[in-house]
Amino acid sequence: MFDATKIRGDFPILSRKVNGKRLVYLDNASTTQKPIQVINAISDYYSNSNANVHRGIHALSMEASGKFEESRRKTAAFIGASGASEIVFTKNATESLNLVANSLGSALGKGGVVVLSEMEHHSNIVPWQLVCREKKAELRFIPVKRDGTLDLAELDSLLEGAKIVSFAHVSNALGTINDVKKITNSAHKAGALVCIDGAQSVPHLPVGIAQLGSPDFMAFSAHKMLGPTGVGVLYGRKELLESMPPFLGGGDMIREVKLQSSMWNEVPHKFEAGTPDIAGVIAFGAALDYLKKLGMGRIRLHEGKLLKIALQLMGEIPGVSLYGPRSLELRGGVVSFNVEGIHPHDAASVLDSQGVAVRAGHHCAMPLMRKLGLGSTVRASFYAYNAPEEVEVLANAVKKAKAIFS
Amino acid sequence: MLDIYGEQILELSRHPRHRGAIRKPSAASKDSNPLCGDEIEFQLLIGEDGKITDAKFSGQGCAISMASADLIANELIDKKLSSVKGFDKAAVFSLLGMHPGPSRVKCALLPLKVVKMAAYSKLGAQLTEKEAAME
């Protein structure tokens, strides 16, 4: 187990004050803070190696390209991909999911079936709605139960005729950890391809493609795992990426361009049109190094410890409703809650006045909220650098909100 | 920061005076805050002399938006419908007795937008860009 208080020193922002109080940053499911190693990697790139990648033969371009591709290899190793060519860099997980929906969706015929779950983030719903509307394909949803877990009782019949199944590994709104392996195996048996939204899992749990039953695609974001904003990842099985049409057109994604037609570059470059966020990708490599040093298994254990304290402390406060599975095994470091008689925005404002940063709202998962009969919730989400004392600050801030609104 | 939760705001959010529905409203409008999904409906009863004889709101929202809606309804009753055009965000902040700060300004201004939508539908006027954006 690592000591969260020791690694906090690597995160400059964590020593600042907010509203006169020490910052307690519990909005990690939105975006995480960055260690100095990542911040320095951005600065170092622009100070010493800035050049466009995959274009020049001059020294700087070679150097930048080398570092850029090194990040790709690190990303592949981080999730156990077969090779670096299975890693496509995008601008965020949303773009990664749009890439899959559009490129894979182009082969959907009328009446084709796409299966999602009811707990998806809007980024794993809307792209599929767009493509299904255009292709006159059918959208189906794996239902969510009251306890915030997926209802897999009718899974096999839901999967009948499915071409694509896309769902979250971990729910951003509730923290529910879904049984990716089980659903992936069933989907593959039904002849469907599987896409995983890993935005909330890859940053927080040990994630290996093979261990998950080898889903065909997985999307995640650098900024939710200590890396900079502007970088997303799409893992895709190589044969599939090779057979799929490009998503965006432009430079770097082509081998040869004629006036009327073009030949595509090899994967993953076929899916990386235009100049990428080079500094961001290189700094993401530094984030992966940092996470590897901490150990994903240890991060998971640490967050589990924080979650246990949070569920206990919050559960003891009268009028606090907690949402999502109660089993720690089925849940990432997310605590979604409401306080009786206090609107989530008011609760979040009081928490903010105490230096506690949380998210309040529908968490870009309106269908899930509607299903659970909730307008919105307050969400606290943890990461490696959060200390147990910060959970106490959260609980005390909730008590303060209760006192104000009583 | 906690200054936004003054006694008046808390009291109005707990015990609003103008929450409810009008049996046969002359104008009604509904809208939601895209940030939080909160929805507010406003109903107006307009007399033959062009005066607002009753105003009621309904919906779910935070303390700021509920207090703001109640204060707006209270302020507009017995005023001329045409006066809604000149009724602006400064007037709302003045009624609230504070500026809610950048993160909550839309909570305070959603009720203003909705009441303007209802009134403008009778006046044949259009929301300005800023009114529509709750800025």
CB nearest to A343's CB, from B35, B61, B103? B61
B69 token code pair: 């809606």
Distance separating alpha carbons of residues A358 and A311, to the nearest angstrom: 16
pLDDT digits (tens, 9 = 90+) for A264-306: 999 999 999 999 999 999 999 999 999 999 999 999 999 999 9
Is A344 within 8 Å of B60 when comparing Cβ atoms?
no
Residues of A assigned a catalytic role? 364
Are A99 and A217 in contact, with CB atoms under 8 Å apart?
Answer: no
A269 token code pair: 């470059």
Are B70 and B17 in contact, with CB atoms under 8 Å apart?
Answer: yes
Residue A268, preceding peptide bond in cis (omega within 30° of 0): yes
Strands (E), A222-369: 232-236, 254-257, 262-264, 320-323, 334-339, 356-357, 359-361
Interface test mutation site (partner A, options B40, B60, B62, B99, max chain A beta carbons within 10 A): B62
Q: What is the DSSP string of B121-134?
A: HHHT----HHHHHT
Instruction: Enumerate the residues of chain B whose CB falls inside 8 A of the CB of residue A372.
Output: none
Mean pLDDT to the nearest integer, A95-100: 98
| DSSP state letter for A176 | B
Q: Using 50, 70 and 90 to split pLDDT, how confident is the model at B46?
A: very high
Mean pLDDT to the nearest integer, B26-34: 92
Residue B30 CB-density burial (10 A; 0-12 exposed, 13-18 middle, 19+ buried): middle
Is A346 within 8 Å of B103 when comparing Cβ atoms?
no
A74 token code pair: 């690190």
CB nearest to B62's CB, from A346, A352, A353? A346
Give the residue from B86, B66, B62, B65 showing the smallest Cα distance to B76: B86
Alpha carbon of A95: minimum distance to chain B alpha carbons (Å): 21
Is B5 within 8 Å of A344 when comparing Cβ atoms?
no
Is B5 within 8 Å of A404 when comparing Cβ atoms?
yes
CB atoms within 10 A of CB A151: 15
| DSSP state letter for A245 | P
Alpha carbon of A373: minimum distance to chain B alpha carbons (Å): 13
What percent of chain B lies above the pLDDT cut of 90?
Answer: 77
Residues forming a β-bridge with A197: A168, A219
Give the residue carrying structure tokens 């190094």. Answer: A289
How much is the pLDDT for A57? 85
Instruction: Enumerate the residues of chain A whose CB falls inside 8 A of the CB of residue B4.
Output: 349
Strands (E), A71-160: 87-90, 113-117, 138-142
User: b/e map of A224-258 (b: 16 or more CB within 10 Å)?
Assistant: bbbbbebbbbbbbbeebbeebebbeeeebbbeeee
Domain ranges of chain B: 2-133
Is A345 within 8 Å of B1 when comparing Cβ atoms?
no
- B131 vs A36, higher pLDDT: A36
Instruction: Enumerate the residues of chain B whose CB falls inside 8 A of the CB of residue A350.
Output: 2, 5
Q: Does B16 touch chain A (CB under 8 A)?
A: no
- Choose the CATH number for B2-133 among 3.40.50.1860, 1.10.8.80, 2.102.10.10, 3.90.1010.10: 3.90.1010.10
Give the residue carrying structure tokens 């009134």. Answer: B119
Contacts of residues A62-70 at CB distance under 8 Å and 24 or more positions apart, as own/partner, are A64/A278, A64/A282, A67/A282, A67/A285, A68/A276, A68/A278, A68/A281, A68/A282, A70/A282, A70/A285
How much is the pLDDT for A254? 87
pLDDT digits (tens, 9 = 90+) for B59-83: 988 999 999 999 999 999 999 999 9
DSSP, collapsed to helix, strand or coil, labels residue B46 as strand
Q: Does B105 touch chain A (CB under 8 A)?
A: no
Continuous H helices in B21-123: 63-76, 89-96, 105-123
H-helix or E-strand containing A380? Answer: strand A377-381
Query: Rounded mean pLDDT of chain B?
Result: 93
For residue A201, give Cα distances in angstroms to A79, A169, A193, A247, B47.
11, 6, 20, 25, 59
Alpha carbon of A344: minimum distance to chain B alpha carbons (Å): 7
Is A344 within 8 Å of B1 when comparing Cβ atoms?
no
Residues forming a β-bridge with A379: A336, A359
Instruction: Enumerate the residues of chain B whose CB falls inside 8 A of the CB of residue A369.
Output: 37
pLDDT higher than threshold 60 for residue B1: no
DSSP, collapsed to helix, strand or coil, labels residue A313 as helix
Chain B, nearest residue to A353 by Cα: B1
For residue A290, give Cα distances in angstroms to A10, A122, A284.
10, 30, 10
CB nearest to B37's CB, from A346, A350, A375? A375
Q: Using 50, 70 and 90 to split pLDDT, how confident is the model at B38?
A: confident
Instruction: Enumerate the residues of chain A whose CB falls inside 8 A of the CB of residue B63.
Output: 342-343, 346, 405
Is B36 within 8 Å of A361 when comparing Cβ atoms?
yes
Q: In chain A, what are the domains?
A: 4-28+295-405 (3.90.1150.10), 39-293 (3.40.640.10)
Give the residue from A218, A175, A182 showing the smallest Cα distance to A329: A175
Are A309 and A391 in contact, with CB atoms under 8 Å apart?
Answer: yes
Is B35 within 8 Å of A361 when comparing Cβ atoms?
yes
CB nearest to A352's CB, from B1, B38, B64? B1
pLDDT higher than threshold 90 for residue A6: no
How much is the pLDDT for B36? 73
Residues forming a β-bridge with A334: A381
pLDDT higher than threshold 90 for residue B33: no
Query: Rounded mean pLDDT of chain A?
Result: 96
Q: What is the DSSP string of B10-45?
A: HHHHHS-SSBS--SS-SEEEEEE-TTT--EEEEEEE
Size of interface A-B (CB pairs under 8 A): 51
pLDDT digits (tens, 9 = 90+) for B88-124: 999 999 999 999 988 889 999 999 999 999 999 999 9
Alpha carbon of A134: minimum distance to chain B alpha carbons (Å): 26
Are A341 and A319 in contact, with CB atoms under 8 Å apart?
Answer: yes
User: β-strands A356-357, A24-25: how paired?
Assistant: parallel
Q: Which residues of A touch B (CB under 8 A)?
A: 19, 342-346, 349-350, 352-353, 360-362, 366, 369, 375-376, 404-405
Are B62 and B107 in contact, with CB atoms under 8 Å apart?
Answer: yes
CB nearest to B63's CB, from A19, A346, A375? A346
Q: How far apart are the first and last CA of chain B?
A: 20
Is A345 within 8 Å of B4 when comparing Cβ atoms?
no
Crossing angle for the helix pair B7-14 and B63-76, nearest 10 degrees? 80
CB atoms within 10 A of CB B82: 13
